[in-house]
Structure 1
Amino acid sequence: MLTELSIKDFAIIDELTITFNEGLTVLTGETGAGKSIIIDALELLTGGRGSVEFVRYGADKAALEGLFIIDNKNHSIFSKGEEFGIEIDDGMIVLQRTITSGGKSICRVNGKLVTLAILKEFGKVLIDIHSQHETQSLMDVERHIELLDLYNIKEIEHVKADFLKYYHKLNAIRKRYRKLSEDEQEMAQRLDLLEFQLNELQEANLIPNEDVQLMEEREKLVNFEKIFHGLQDAYDALYGEQKGLDWLSLALNGLETASEYDEQLKERKEAFSNHYYLIEEQMFELRNYLDNLEFDSERLNLIEARLNEINRLKKKYGSTVEEMMEYSSHIEEEIDQIKNRDTHLQKLKNEIEDIGKDVLLEAKHLHDLRKKAALSLIDDIHEELNSLYLEKAAFDVSIEINKSSKSDLEFDGKQVQLSSNGFDTVKFLISTNPGEPLKEMNKVASGGELSRIMLALKKIFAKHQGVTSVIFDEVDTGVSGRVAQAIAEKIYGISFGSQVLCITHLPQVASIADTHLLIEKQVSNKRTKTTVQPLSKEDRAVELGRMITGTELTETSKEHARELIKLADKIKNNK
């Protein structure tokens, strides 16, 4: 869940820190007080597009910071951390974003600098923001197949993974087939180039790890004098009269004499003796190494020449000898394919047919699972719509197979077009009035109906998406009366599985909240700023009364507000 949000020099907010709790939190206040600015800050913090216009007038930069605490050890945020090399200790994630007045955007996750794209990857598994605009996005047909798969993720996930494995393999083989099917002249030119490259690499007689070994040998020859003098100094310090080993020998003799009269010194004498003989052995080895040390200028010239040749080839064929040898093997195989093109084309064609059967089998499995999931989803959506007083609405899921006359794959005797989702197109259809045909939702529903449909969908999908915080920005616009009460209960129901933050103008929604924050705009030193204040039970009654009357606060409106809170408490206790 989102635990704390800090905002500094952002729009009309000079400096603000908000602590959030679990459950449903509502944010209310007069129009223009800054409620939506807080949501804007959260959007930017989770990877939304920024602008210098967000930087408070006169400030150098706007700074946003959010602390999230994740208790679920299986949450996808941990795999995101592993994917991008970001440590997540004790389930704590801190997102930071700075937008300078010059237009630069600096993003961090747990203190590590990241790109905006990576920040967005983290943001989308932590927060799900729904506004009136986002409601339209939820109606986007392109997203419907994703939502249907999400609804039955347990069954579909593994089948989709198997499908994608074959799908990507099929595309890779098709690409090789198209490349090999190019015209004769282009193939002949390609063959000449490959044969030249192969001949150049084979004449080089490359040996694995050769460049590394030659560099090491070159380093020794180039620094021959330093090595020689260093070894000579070491040897001279040990060997000879009044030198290191001579003094160590005197020390050993002294310990041997003393240990004859003191039992406690025998162990120390033995240890010293072992070290003495080890040093003596090292001295003899140094002498042998020095005797065999020889500078070979011709060998150095040969190494330099060979390294120059290898470096020349690296510019063309790979950054290491291993990469160049691998490339040599690859082009040798491609030469064979071009010279025996007809044979290889037939082989690839057979592979395409074989893998195509596997792809279609998995696509059919996905198709069947989606049809099964659709039946269950239709029942669940109808149940949710009924509770939102859309009992006369009809909801359906259309699953059609994509057909294409240009496809080389056939299913049930018809050519089908594959995508990364299989061969299905999924559309959510609805009719809000009896007798009206089912149509795409955004072509049928009014503003108030869209809000309720979106909430019905959100109630179903929230538990499957795995986000920690769901944010609603005035999605209850255009409704009132019993529908407003139903929406309030629906939003509260979503808070059972996720933390919910909701900007609202409906007293019914505000009354059912676990936490109520009042957003106000104040003028100080001729500058406007936004403040956030948690409300007590009595303060909530005052704010709800204001929301009910919209003008002058009366005792009647306050009493009505108290009744709303009591009703909300009763509903919450029953749930």
Structure 2
Amino acid sequence: MLLNLHVKNLALIEESEVTFGSGLNILSGETGAGKSIIIGSVNLALGGKVSKSMLRENAEFALVELIFSVEHKVQEAALRELEVYPEDGEIIMSRKIYASGRSVCRINSETVSQALMRKVASLLIDIHGQHEHESLLAKRNHMKYLDAYAKRELEAPKAELTKEYEHYTEIRKKLEEASLDAEQQAREISFLQYEIEEIENADLRIGEDEELEEDYRRMSHGRKIMESAAECQELCSEGSDNAADQIGRAVRALHAVSQFDESFAAFSEQLEEIESLFSDFNRDLAGYVSELDFSEEAFQSVEERLNLINHLKAKYGKTIERILQEKQTKEEKLDQLQHYEEYRSELEGTLRNSEATLQHCCETVTDIRKKYAKELSDQTRQALLDLNFLDVQFEMEFGRLDHYTANGWDETRFMISTNPGEPLKPLDAVASGGELSRIMLALKTVLAENDEIETLIFDEIDSGISGRTAQMVAEKIKLTGKNHQIICITHLPQIAAMADHHFLIEKTSSADVTISNIRSLDREESIQELARMLGGVKITDAVLTNAKEMKEMADAVR
């Protein structure tokens, strides 16, 4: 359930906070007061697209924060699969949008990607925006609603179907690529043999390139290394007045007086250790210098070997490991070509087996879909009757594609008849705008009963309806709110009257600034807002009485 929404510096909102309750939460207000900004801010917090124009003018950033309570074990388990863990039963989702266009998403104070925000949001909330009902006109969306309804039983078979389809397409691709005539085969075999031989002749050893690069660096700076080593020897041990001689004299000087002062004895011991270490250093340096031998021939050999390896890297892979892996791949392909007919025959057999498995997966998915299509159609029809469709028939028609897809071979669409005696027709050929709104509401309420998502947001789902139909839509939303949290933006008083929690969005203007605010209404304030929605600018006693009666009638809907 969505507990709290906090918005700062977004469009007309300077800073606003609202605490939602269970049941039906209604948001109302004058046209242009900023109702859509509230839904927009929720969408932003849940990973939606950002436009810099959404920030308040001169603001450095905008912030949207949502606090959800997670009460269902299924929801909690799904969140844990995404490595999102509720803290004290709550999830805090926030998004900070900077004037530069950059945004930072966080869940429980941990920075996350927008993709993860959207995945988490899909488990917690379902938003039905303005004009979304028009998506019903595209039959490609109809199966999405069916699959969402049948998700519990369909999820595993669909995953298996997708996996098998990917395997099937992979085998088909290999078989298509294995369509070579004798001449092409010979060319391909010759080329593969050449490449394999080229790698084999190189006699590569893993780690060899790193050793060669180190040798190359040392050899390419050989003269400077020799000069520096010789200079170091001169200063340390070979030149007149060298460091070794001076340390030796210092040791003897301290040793001569150490018997007269214990402090000098300690100094003498330290310096003797230094002299010993320095002697070891000079001995090691002399050994290193004696072995220095940078011949032009050795340098050229290292350079040529490096050039060969780098040529192979450019051709076959960026590392020796990848070059050797590529050689193995080419050897396998060569073996296939040298036994071409056997390889094709094996692929064809594998493809037949894969297709048989894929066909079985498609049949399983289709059977499940058809079973749940009947349930979804019956429940949607009943919901439509509840929404003032006087005589309605609603079914789902199935067709079959002439090819496989990752979603099976089904082609589905909703069919409806809204008048007695009329045949069923495709939804897009029959439904008006107001009817589409009600059909979408019917589907949403039916789906909600089969889903773990607790919070539903309706943004003006009442468009195109009025009168008795509006009253029945209001009652349907109210009843859905008994088992789900509903947040509904509406301009209809019939729906607003049903509110368990009523919020007013107001816009105030001064000489240089316009601000939208949202505040909770008590019962009397809610009745005043209903009167405004009923009567417009002038609220008469009759309108106010009507608003009170409407609220009392709404109280009776249980």
- Once the two structures are superposed, the pairs formed by residues 250-261 of structure 1 within 5 Å of their partners are none
CA distance in 2, matches of 1:203, 1:171: 37
Deviation larger for 307-316 or 131-140: 307-316
Alignment CA distance shift 1:210-1:561 (3 Å) = farther
- 1:482 equivalent to 2:482? Answer no
Q: 1:66: Cα distance to partner?
A: 3.1
CA distance in 1, matches of 2:81, 2:536: 46
Alignment CA distance shift 1:205-1:354 (3 Å) = same
- 1:162 equivalent to 2:163? Answer no
Alignment CA distance shift 1:202-1:93 (3 Å) = farther
Q: Deviations over 1:24-56 (max 9, x none)?
A: 211001111111122222233333333343233
Deviation larger for 477-486 or 427-436: 477-486
| Contact kept? 1:107, 1:119, Cα under 8 Å | no
- 1:357 equivalent to 2:356? Answer yes
- 1:128 equivalent to 2:126? Answer yes
Alignment CA distance shift 1:190-1:492 (3 Å) = farther
1:81 match: 82
Q: 1:525: Cα distance to partner?
A: 4.2
- Amino acid in the other structure paired with 2:536: G
| Contact kept? 1:12, 1:529, Cα under 8 Å | yes
- Once the two structures are superposed, the pairs formed by residues 413-424 of structure 1 within 5 Å of their partners are 417-424=403-410
Gaps (5+ residues) in structure 2? 230-279
2:25 match: 25
2:557 match: 571
Q: Deviations over 1:176-221 (max 9, x none)?
A: 1111215666655544443333223323334567668999999999
- Amino acid in the other structure paired with 1:401: R
- Once the two structures are superposed, the pairs formed by residues 74-473 of structure 1 within 5 Å of their partners are 74-75=74-75, 78=79, 81-82=82-83, 89-90=87-88, 91-98=90-97, 100=99, 104-110=101-107, 116-182=114-180, 190-207=188-205, 310=309, 312-403=311-402, 417-473=403-459
- 3-state secondary structure, aligned to 2:131: helix
2:258 match: none
Q: 1:473: Cα distance to partner?
A: 1.1
CA distance in 1, matches of 2:310, 2:74: 48
1:493 match: 479
Q: 1:62: Cα distance to partner?
A: 4.0
The root-mean-square deviation of aligned C-alpha atoms, in Å, is 3.9
Q: Deviations over 1:509-535 (max 9, x none)?
A: 112222111001101343111011100
Q: 1:112: Cα distance to partner?
A: 5.6
Alignment CA distance shift 1:92-1:540 (3 Å) = same
CA distance in 1, matches of 2:524, 2:404: 60
| Contact kept? 1:166, 1:358, Cα under 8 Å | yes
- Amino acid in the other structure paired with 1:30: E
2:545 match: 559
CA distance in 1, matches of 2:212, 2:21: 64
Q: 1:341: Cα distance to partner?
A: 2.3
| Contact kept? 1:34, 1:520, Cα under 8 Å | yes
> So what's the TM-score if we normalise by structure 1?
0.76
1:36 match: 36
- Once the two structures are superposed, the pairs formed by residues 534-553 of structure 1 within 5 Å of their partners are 534-553=520-539
Q: Which has the greater radius of gyration?
A: 2
CA distance in 2, matches of 1:156, 1:118: 24
| Contact kept? 1:472, 1:502, Cα under 8 Å | yes
Q: 1:149: Cα distance to partner?
A: 1.8
CA distance in 1, matches of 2:209, 2:21: 61
Alignment CA distance shift 1:468-1:316 (3 Å) = farther
Alignment CA distance shift 1:136-1:351 (3 Å) = same
Q: 1:144: Cα distance to partner?
A: 1.4
Q: Deviations over 1:80-116 (max 9, x none)?
A: 734xxx776554242314153x6x2424133565555
Q: 1:159: Cα distance to partner?
A: 1.6
1:514 to 500, 509, 519: 500
Q: Deviations over 1:134-188 (max 9, x none)?
A: 0111442112112212212222122212222211111111111111215666655
1:503 match: 489
Alignment CA distance shift 1:215-1:564 (3 Å) = farther
| Contact kept? 1:80, 1:122, Cα under 8 Å | no
| Contact kept? 1:156, 1:366, Cα under 8 Å | yes
CA distance in 1, matches of 2:418, 2:25: 31
> So what's the TM-score if we normalise by structure 2?
0.78
Q: 1:425: Cα distance to partner?
A: 0.4
| Contact kept? 1:106, 1:113, Cα under 8 Å | no
Alignment CA distance shift 1:335-1:97 (3 Å) = farther
